Amino acid sequence: MIRLILHNCGLLAVPQLLLSALTVSLLLGYLVAWRRGEIPAGVRPWESTLEPLAGISTTVGLLGSVMGFIVAFGSFQDGRDVARLTRGLAGAYWTTGVGIVTALIAMGGSYVLTVLNRRRVAQ
């Protein structure tokens, strides 16, 4: 899967994968810390990390889209280079997809942690 992302996301594959790994690592760390009771009730430290990561990953994905569309539409300058067109479109959609999935994981994880924390406060 990683090889497929590296191949299709082009220049932005490494930042996308690093953002994804950081998001999952932080989410798991917060879940473990919450489970152990290391995060006091009412305190939500994940809001200052997971939510900005969601925005950053979406933005990097959209930047990849723009770059991919530039490559795709540049194929018309050189005649109809179908390989370049499809490579550009694939890169555009892959970077957007990886960015959105990373953002969904970050936002969903933040939501779950907030719900769990509210339940702990209500007890």
Please answer whether residues 65 and 92 qualify as being in contact, where contact means their C-beta atoms are separated by less than 8 angstroms.
yes
Write out pLDDT tens, residues 15-31: 888 999 999 999 999 99
Indicate the pTM of the whole model.
0.84
Higher pLDDT, 38 or 2: 38
Q: How confident is the model at residue 71 (pLDDT cuts 50, 70, 90)?
A: confident
Residue position matching structure tokens 């280079």:
81
Alpha carbons 109 and 115: distance in angstroms, whole number? 10
Write out pLDDT tens, residues 27-37: 999 999 999 98
How confident is the prediction for the chain on average, in pLDDT? 88
- Six-digit token pair at 89? 């479109």
Alpha carbons 48 and 26: distance in angstroms, whole number? 11
Question: What residues have CB less than 8 Å from 11, skipping those under 6 apart?
Answer: 64, 67
Alpha carbons 97 and 51: distance in angstroms, whole number? 18
Q: What pLDDT, on a 0 to 100 scale, did the predictor assign at position 99? A: 92
Please determine, for residue 61, whether its predicted confidence score (pLDDT) is greater than 80: yes
Question: What residues have CB less than 8 Å from 104, skipping those under 6 apart?
Answer: 54
